[in-house]
Amino acid sequence: MKLQLLSRAKSAARRLIPFVCVTTLVLTVCWFTTDRAAALYILTNEDDATIVLEQGADVADFSSQMVYIGTNASGFELTLAAGRPVTVLYGGASISTTSRQETVSELLNRVHTVPGPLDMVAVDLKDTGLTLTVASDLTYYERATESAPHQTVLVNDPELEAGTQKVVQTGADGVRSAVYEVTYSGGERISRQLVSEEDSTAVDEIVHVGTAPVPAAAAPDNGDRVVNVAKNADGSGTLTFASGAVLNFGSVKSMTATAYTKGHGGADSYTATGTTVRVGVVAVDRRVIPLGTKLYIVSADGKVTYGMAVAEDTGVSGNIVDLYYDTYQQCIEFGRRAATVYVLN
């Protein structure tokens, strides 16, 4: 014999109206109340009890507390198809059941699991079933397919001059499969951190960066002519030559230039610094121009260009620069002239 019993009324003060319906096969005892019943209990001959929620029965709604793992969505109800395995995790306990064409809220009510006001219901949809985790703090791992910006990889290249770059592979954005660690607390998402990424289709941009030393600019020969002198407020500046060569100077001196050669006036084959005399060596007063200083010398009227020189000799005093020539005749022809001396950096 099967007995169906409507659940107890929601309030003990409710007014109950009993009646009995008898047939030859089934005895049904019904308790009708002025309010709807919360549930219908079915008692079988095997003495086990199951609860079936009536359509439209009053049940607690937990939709606002639901977080659907993998979608970043919450606040809506999911209706479950019948016959799907479900695991409910709450307070260290695990409850296994099977869905019955019901919402998640209805299922939780059916298994007597009531989330607290700060609890969340993590709805983890899987191919094999559904897991509902009820907790105030939730951490789970979310896999997402998202855009993957390309990276720029810099590679030192000793064959390129320092200060230059060359793109050898153009980058392209793509997509990637990313895994994020997502943490909720008290109903709010407090963090979402990337923990791994894989299968990126982005293509790195590869840029070679030059590391080779930049060769020094070729010094102008004495046949080259200055086409521009650019001066700065501090006295420094730049000499630009017709050949394109450039010299930077730190200061400019107006001096008297004379000439000398070995074998005349007491000069021999060696300078005061021990080097061999040659064109390009000049004698100076070391108090005016320190020995070893590089110079560029031209007559003040621009008619004679001595060119590049190094202060390696002495024997003069004051604001005089003595230029070495290979022959005595050249010295006579040069004579004594006003000169502009650029002290090079």
Q: pLDDT tier at 119 (50, 70, 90 boundaries)?
A: confident
User: Would you mind telling me the total number of residues written for the chain in this entry?
Assistant: 345
Same fold, 142-212 and 226-344: no
**64: phi > 0 → left, psi -120 to 50 → alpha, else beta; which?**
alpha
- Give me the residue label for tokens 């110079």: 295
Strands 246-260 and 337-344 turn out to be antiparallel
Token code pair at residue 63:
């939709």
- Give me the residue label for tokens 């000799």: 313
* Residue-level pLDDT at 9: 29
* Residue-level pLDDT at 26: 29
pLDDT tens readout for residues 160-171:
988 899 999 999
C-alpha 325/C-alpha 334 separation (Å) is: 9
* Residue-level pLDDT at 13: 30
In terms of Cβ atoms closer than 10 Å to its own Cβ (0-12, 13-18, 19+), residue 18 is: exposed
Tell me which residue of 82, 79, 110 sits closest to 95, measured CA to CA.
Answer: 110
Q: Strands of 152-161's sheet, edge to edge?
A: 152-161, 205-212, 165-169
* Residue-level pLDDT at 300: 94
pLDDT tens readout for residues 147-199:
999 999 999 999 998 889 999 999 999 999 988 888 888 777 888 898 888 88
Percent of the chain's residues with pLDDT above 90: 47
Q: pLDDT tier at 337 (50, 70, 90 boundaries)?
A: very high
CA atoms within 13 A on the CB side of 320: 14
* DSSP type of residue 100: -
Q: Are 71 and 124 in contact (CB under 8 A)?
A: no
Token code pair at residue 144:
């997402």
Tell me the average pLDDT of the chain.
80
- pLDDT > 70? residue 23: no
* Residue-level pLDDT at 224: 82
CA distances from 15 to 7, 8, 29, 236 (A): 14, 11, 16, 109
* DSSP type of residue 65: G
Q: Quick check: pTM over 0.95?
A: no
Ordered by start, the domain boundaries in the chain are 3-52, 63-135, 142-212, 226-344
Helix (H, G, I), strand (E, B) or coil at 104: helix
Token code pair at residue 73:
């969505």
Domain made up of 226-344: CATH architecture? Beta Barrel (2.40)
Report the b/e string of 273-304 with b at 16+ CB within 10 A. eeeebebbbbbbbeebbeeebbbbbbeeeeeb
Which class is domain 142-212?
mainly beta
Helix (H, G, I), strand (E, B) or coil at 327: coil
In terms of Cβ atoms closer than 10 Å to its own Cβ (0-12, 13-18, 19+), residue 315 is: middle
pLDDT tens readout for residues 27-53:
222 333 333 333 333 333 344 433 343
* Residue-level pLDDT at 46: 40
Q: pLDDT tier at 270 (50, 70, 90 boundaries)?
A: very high
* Residue-level pLDDT at 43: 36
pLDDT tens readout for residues 300-330:
998 999 999 999 999 999 999 999 999 999 9
- Give me the residue label for tokens 């709807």: 36
- pLDDT > 90? residue 287: yes
Q: Which residues 6+ apart lie within 8 Å of 75 measured at CB?
A: 63, 64, 66
Q: Are 163 and 214 in contact (CB under 8 A)?
A: yes
Helix (H, G, I), strand (E, B) or coil at 109: helix
pLDDT tens readout for residues 241-253:
988 888 999 999 9
Q: Are 324 and 260 in contact (CB under 8 A)?
A: yes
Q: Determine how many CB atoms are found less than 10 A away from the CB of residue 16.
A: 11
